Amino acid sequence: MPTVLSETDTLYLSGRKPLLSSTTKEKINKNTIPDILRSVSEKHETNVAEINILLMEYLGLQSILERTREFSTNVNNLIVVNRAQEIIRKSVSYFLGEPISYTAKNDNVENMDILNMYMNEESKSAKDFEVGNWSAIAGTAYRLVVTNPDADVEISPFKIPTCDPRKTYVIYSSEVLGRPLLAGIYSDRYDSLGNVEGYDHWIYDGTNEYTFTSLGTAALAGVMTFTGERPHLLGEVPIVEYANNQFRIGDFEPVLGLLDALNKSISDRLNAIEQTVGAILVFVDCEIDETGGMAGVKQRGTIQVKSNGNNNVDIKYVSPELSQEDAQITESAINEYIDLVTGIPSRKEKSGGGDTGEAVFMRDGFQDLELVARAKERPFKEAERKVIRLVSKIMATFGSAILPQEIEVSCVRNRVTNIASKAQAAINLTKAGILDPEDTIKLLGITDQPKEMADRGKAYREADMARREKEREQSDSANENSNEPPGADE
């Protein structure tokens, strides 16, 4: 990976390309795998190169740092305004700020508490953030699901590590259904001097894990040597891809040109300021009549000149003419375009007459960010369902069977945003009597466990009614006793 991007690196990125093969799963074995990998090697290497470009943009190693100037080379400010990192931070934090959780679709689902306990043990919310970051930066991310080799010591029977998308791949069938055929992870292999000489590979099909070593710089096209094979018993490829969207485009990828333009604009503004401060003093048809020459001028801050006999005597500074106001307008426009394309809320100060929570949410662009999160949510949930399917098979072998089709993947955002409006909506819906309380809670989006909240609410109301009834009976009994005449018991 280069240390800094060049200006041509970011010109033609348009999403990562899927790796496709016309082979069938029946033909996959230790002998055919090297040929399958070689057939997709070029496309994989292209994807890796593009991911490196996007990662460098995110890390701030942007093309402005390589810019040189033909004139005034002593003034060359190279300023990186890392809006790429801001875009990723806002979009991922908004989308995954609340942990993804699993809830049962009905009362008959067993071992839900065990599943959530295992996920918590695996720090899944933190791993979800890793997946979300990679997917937002690179356009795709990967998660491996495997049996925990330390299951006899640790609580969870499975592991769900996040994989580096530069060293992970999934090969899909070129048929209409596009099922995953093969997936793999590789790591650098070092010689005795610490130099990379090849790669170690862990490759999975629907039934087995294969290990290979390879030599050469191309990870999937080198000379591969088979080193082992064992069943994984999951019944499907255990590496799951989390695509950011249909075309695997990163969040800031569509605005790379605008990000470069912003860096250039701000760098040029600082160059102009510096050149104005250090402007060249020009004498026209005159010469300095000062002792000490220019050194004396600098010390005293005044100039005495004598004319050469012409009437066009002039003393002036030669400096670049850059309107800071026009430059600010240009930068504001660039930032506005970046916000519009990426769906990031604007930080520009605005005011209006109706600054309610909903009005601010709409006015400042948070509605656009919500649309971005909804677009991410679909492919993310699709991948999560695959993970649940794999995890359920591992849990079944450890005696905690669970039906993946009965599990709801929940993504909740803005739990308390406009809570007053949501409360009023809940009152209106309850009075109307047209929805089950669980559906009302789900519609409001204030929890990722609407069933549990509805059940607790029902139990609370029943307990409250019982308490009130008991208090009423006690009050009635006290009133009856107080109304009896003296000696009535005799």
For residue 122, how many other CB atoms are within 10 A of its CB?
A: 19
Least confident range from 50-54, 73-77, 186-190, 317-321: namely 317-321
Is residue 183 within 8 A of residue 202, CB to CB? The reply is: no
Which is higher by pLDDT, 451 or 456? 456
CB 88 within 8 A of CB 137: yes
What is the Cα–Cα distance from 173 to 24, expressed in whole angstroms? 7
* Alpha carbon of residue 90 to chain centroid: 8
Structure tokens at 301: 């801050």
pLDDT per residue as tens digits for the range 187-218: 999 988 888 889 999 999 999 999 999 998 88
CB 203 within 8 A of CB 210: yes
Q: Return the top range by mean pLDDT from 59-63, 409-413, 441-445, 448-452.
A: 59-63
Rounded to an integer, what distance in angstroms lies between the CA atom of residue 438 and that of residue 408? 14
Q: What local confidence, expressed as pLDDT, does residue 359 receive?
A: 56
pLDDT band, residue 389 (cuts 50/70/90): very high
373 φ, ψ (degrees, to nearest 5) = -65, -40
φ, ψ at 162 (rounded to 5°): -85, 135
Query: Strands 162-163 and 140-144, how do they pair?
Result: antiparallel
Instruction: Enter the DSSP assignment of 235.
Output: S
pLDDT of residue 401: 84
| 8-39: b (≥16 Cβ within 10 Å) or e | ebbeebebbebbebebeeeebebeebbebbeb
Find the mean pLDDT for residues 374-381: 93
Q: Quick check: 38 and 220 in contact, CB under 8 A?
A: yes
Q: Is the dihedral of CA 348, 333, 247, 242 positive or negative?
A: negative
Distance separating alpha carbons of residues 376 and 93, to the nearest angstrom = 12
How high is the pLDDT of residue 427? Answer: 84
Residue 398 has what pLDDT? 87
Would you state the pLDDT for residue 363? Answer: 57
- Higher local confidence (pLDDT), 276 or 297: 276
138, 165 Cβ separation under 8 angstroms: yes
Q: Which of 210, 229, 237, 233 is closest to 157 using CA atoms?
A: 233
Which one is predicted more confidently, 354 or 274?
274
pLDDT given for residue 31 in this prediction: 95
Candidate ranges 167-171, 392-396, 448-452; pick with highest mean pLDDT: 167-171
Give the integer Cα–Cα distance in Å for 120 and 114: 10
* The predicted structure's pLDDT at residue 30: 95
Residue 346 has pLDDT above 90, yes or no: no
Secondary structure of residue 341 in the 3-state scheme = helix
Q: What angle do CA 208, 209, 215 make, to 5 degrees?
A: 135
> What end-to-end distance do the CA atoms of the chain give, in Å?
103
Cα dihedral 279→284→288→294 (10° resolution)? 20
Quick one: pLDDT at residue 201?
Answer: 97
- In this predicted model, which residue has the larger pLDDT, 67 or 21? 21
Handedness of CA 478, 483, 484, 485 (dihedral sign): positive
Higher pLDDT, 191 or 283: 191
- pLDDT tens-digit profile of 241-263? 999 999 999 999 999 999 999 99
pLDDT of residue 105: 78
Question: What is the pLDDT, as a whole number, of residue 277?
Answer: 61
**Tokens standing for 167?**
């060293």
% of the chain with per-residue pLDDT over 70: 80
**Which pLDDT band, with edges at 50, 70 and 90, does 429 fall under?**
confident
Confidence of residue 227 (pLDDT cuts 50, 70, 90): very high
pTM over 0.75: yes
